């Protein structure tokens, strides 16, 4: 099984002067769910090379077993330092797609034409895809083959308005993800702030926050396994 993971290349947190990027737990936990299941993982980003890490995600109070394992893993670190450029990636090489969050995707993946087309190719091929926390921002401009928004009429989740307010960034982000998903016709579902929560609708998996990283990855793995068993 081959899994593509798309990471942000954006490192500026609006006009705050602070850095952002991808959230380490949202890469590390799924990475090992896939790796431990024997999957072949490819990391990619719009600019290629080393994607920016949100510095808060590697702070002591954000560390988890998965993040510590990743940071101690020379192979994983080397892979992260040399992500493939999105423009050189083709959907037909992979069985599943996973998009970690961090605030970065709100600025680049949300409107990146290459990322959007890649997502649409996965959807057209009925391949499973997952996005967690702010990762679903990458889904908000994607459309189905009939022209409808990808998330229209589908159960979805993501970083909520309440969670954004809790971290004090509701006035910083370019849009509120919960609102945007609903504007696109998504049936937004959520649990309490920072509680793990995953929605699965057809081949689409979404997770609410960092705590949802591992269960979302396991849900994607299950969908991809079903697809492989039908081939």
Domain spans of the chain, in order of start: 2-230
pLDDT tops 90 at residue 55: yes
Instruction: Report pLDDT digits (tens) over 128-171.
Output: 999 999 999 999 999 999 999 999 999 999 999 999 999 999 99
From the options 3.40.50.300, 3.40.1790.10, 3.40.50.970, 3.40.50.880, give the CATH code of 2-230.
Answer: 3.40.50.880
pLDDT tops 70 at residue 34: yes
Instruction: Report pLDDT digits (tens) over 190-223.
Output: 999 999 999 999 999 999 999 999 999 999 999 9
What are 55's two structure tokens? 């510095």
C-alpha torsion angle, residues 141, 144, 148, 149 (rounded to 10): -30
Helices (H), 74-156: 74-81, 113-124
């Amino acid at each position: 099984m081959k899994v593509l993971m798309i990471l942000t290349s954006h490192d500026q947190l609006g006009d705050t002067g602070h850095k952002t990027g991808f959230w380490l737990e949202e890469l590390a936990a799924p990475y090992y769910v896939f790796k431990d299941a024997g999957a072949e993982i490819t990391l990619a980003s719009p600019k290629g090379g080393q994607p920016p890490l949100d510095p808060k995600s590697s702070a002591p109070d954000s560390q988890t077993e998965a993040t510590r394992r990743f940071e101690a893993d020379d192979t994983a670190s080397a892979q992260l330092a040399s992500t493939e450029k999105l423009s050189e990636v083709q959907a037909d090489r992979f069985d599943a797609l996973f998009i970690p969050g961090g605030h970065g995707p709100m600025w680049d993946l949300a409107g990146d034409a290459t990322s959007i087309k890649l997502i649409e190719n996965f959807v057209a091929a009925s391949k499973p895809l997952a996005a967690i926390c702010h990762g679903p921002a990458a889904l908000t401009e994607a459309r189905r083959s009939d022209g409808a928004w990808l998330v229209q009429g589908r159960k979805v989740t993501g970083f909520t308005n309440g969670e954004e307010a809790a971290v004090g960034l509701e006035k910083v982000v370019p849009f509120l993800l919960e609102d945007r998903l609903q504007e696109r016709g998504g049936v937004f579902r959520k649990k309490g702030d920072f509680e793990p929560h995953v929605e699965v609708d057809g081949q689409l998996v979404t997770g609410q926050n960092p705590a949802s990283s591992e269960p979302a990855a396991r849900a994607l793995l299950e969908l991809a396994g079903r697809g492989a068993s039908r081939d």
